[in-house]
Amino acid sequence: MKRALSFLAIVLLAAGPAAALEMPKGAVILTISGKVAHPNLDGKAVFDLDMLEALQGRTATMETPWTEGKVQFAGPLLRAVLTAAGVEGQTMTVKALNGYTAEVPVSDAYDMETILATRLAGKPMSVREKGPLMLVYPFDLDASLYNERYFSRSVWQIQSIEVAP
């Protein structure tokens, strides 16, 4: 009995923090809607910059078709963001401030080191610099990704992600 209770306590402790998504304190820069198991506002998962930057991230230096020379991007791993939101679907529609949208398989978050870049050369990205968020594929790790399929999924000025079942 005692053993069963301590096992239960461990399960609850393990499940607790993962299920709870805190409320943003700063301006919301990303809204994830659709199939999200850990909503924090009206059935959606909303994030401010600090919440995103507290997640497991990656810093990568690479060339892209949209930037001059080698540039350094940093931000949370897309899978860390999706896990925090409790995303359970197969496909995402990634939407930009300018109305551009791209269909992105959820597997791109788990099969590759994709990041939602929050910083360019160490500084938060302004909207003029394709911020506040840009979906950055690991072109530095896998040169075979450097093609139109992944360029079209490289959405900048990201505002929201809608998850389809």
Ligand X SMILES: Nc1nc2c(c(=O)[nH]1)N[C@H]1C(S)=C(S)[C@@H](COP(=O)(O)O)O[C@H]1N2
Residues that bind ligand X (CB under 6 A): 65-66, 96, 98, 100, 148, 151-152, 154-157
CB of 158 to ligand X, least distance (A): 7
Contact (Cβ atoms closer than 8 angstroms) between residue 82 and residue 130? no
Please choose which of Mo ion, ligand X, none residue 7 contacts, taking the beta carbon within 5 to 8 angstroms, the exact cut-off set by kind: none
Residue with Cβ nearer ligand X (40 or 153): 153
Choose the binding region for Mo ion from 48-56, 109-117, 122-130, 145-153 (rule: CB under 5 A).
145-153
Q: State how far the alpha carbon of 29 is from the alpha carbons of 33, 46, 52, 89, 111, in Å.
A: 13, 8, 9, 21, 25
SS3 call for 96: strand
Nearest-angstrom CA–CA distance, 78 and 64? 18
Exposed, middle or buried by CB within 10 Å (0-12, 13-18, 19+), for 44? middle
SS3 call for 125: coil
Q: Is position 152 an interface residue for Mo ion (rule: CB under 5 A)?
A: yes
Residue with Cβ nearer ligand X (118 or 157): 157
CB of 161 to Mo ion, least distance (A): 19
Please choose which of Mo ion, ligand X, none residue 155 contacts, taking the beta carbon within 5 to 8 angstroms, the exact cut-off set by kind: ligand X
Please choose which of ligand X, Mo ion, none residue 100 contacts, taking the beta carbon within 5 to 8 angstroms, the exact cut-off set by kind: ligand X
Measured from the Cβ of residue 136, the count of other Cβ atoms closer than 10 Å reads 27
Q: Point out which residues bind Mo ion (CB under 5 A).
A: 152
